[in-house]
Amino acid sequence: DAKTTQPPSMDCAEGRAANLPCNHSTISGNEYVYWYRQIHSQGPQYIIHGLKNNETNEMASLIITEDRKSSTLILPHATLRDTAVYYCIVRGYNAGNMLTFGGGTRLMVKP
Amino acid sequence: DGGITQSPKYLFRKEGQNVTLSCEQNLNHDAMYWYRQDPGQGLRLIYYSQIVNDFQKGDIAEGYSVSREKKESFPLTVTSAQKNPTAFYLCASSGSGNSYEQYFGPGTRLTVT
């Protein structure tokens, strides 16, 4: 699976959009981009995933660049409860549903 | 409510003792997973099972054992051979197929002294 690079930490003001970047320059054609988040001392929570088109659900939007070498997770109106570690994961279609978690981005939403 | 349960939330053991962590799911998922998380680190895969009575080693299986006798249960035993067992242990499950997301339990924090 392709490796990902994320900033170790970010701050965001409450009510503003949080844009979390992820680089995956070695991604191959059949690899999906997944985003999970982990609130302190809890299990990770699935947020969204995509292959090449932009995706949106009730939690977030995922923007994948045309060359697929990077993506951005957007939380449109961040709240204090969105404070968490956000993991960007690239997983191959035939990887048996394995997920490889890196260090993630620690997002701090401030009032 | 459908979901994954792990018990207990906190577990304390003396060095040299084996300990078994429970993981149960009522989501009718075929696949189940065990991860380990150390402070400030990401998750690392210990074992996984795609189907009942079958399981495979993950990246850090040494010192651990599992069984999958029932679809809904995937217990993890931390043996005395595991050199640094103190960690946060997370269980997950997913449906069949390659695009299904994993659902995680609340975790068990194991402390061995």
Q: Tens digits of per-residue pLDDT, A62-102?
A: 999 999 999 999 999 999 999 999 999 988 755 556 788 88
Distance of CA B111 to the CA centre of its chain: 15
Interface test with A, best of B43, B50, B59 (most A CBs within 10 A): B43
Angle at A69 between CA A68 and CA A75, to 5 degrees: 80
Mean pLDDT across the stretch B99-111? 89
Both tokens assigned to A68: 């697929």
Give residue B102's pLDDT.
Answer: 87
Contact A16, A110 (CB under 8 A): no
Among the partner-chain residues A43, A46, A87, the one whose CB lies closest to the CB of B101 is: A46
pLDDT at B1: 55
**What would the mean pLDDT of B96-113 be, rounded to a whole number?**
85
Whether the CB-CB separation of B97 and A48 falls below 8 Å is answered with: no
Q: Is A8 left (phi over 0), alpha (psi -120 to 50) or beta?
A: alpha
A53 touches chain B (CB under 8 A): no
Query: Is A44 near chain B, with CB under 8 Å?
Result: yes
Q: Where are the alpha helices (DSSP H) in chain A?
A: none
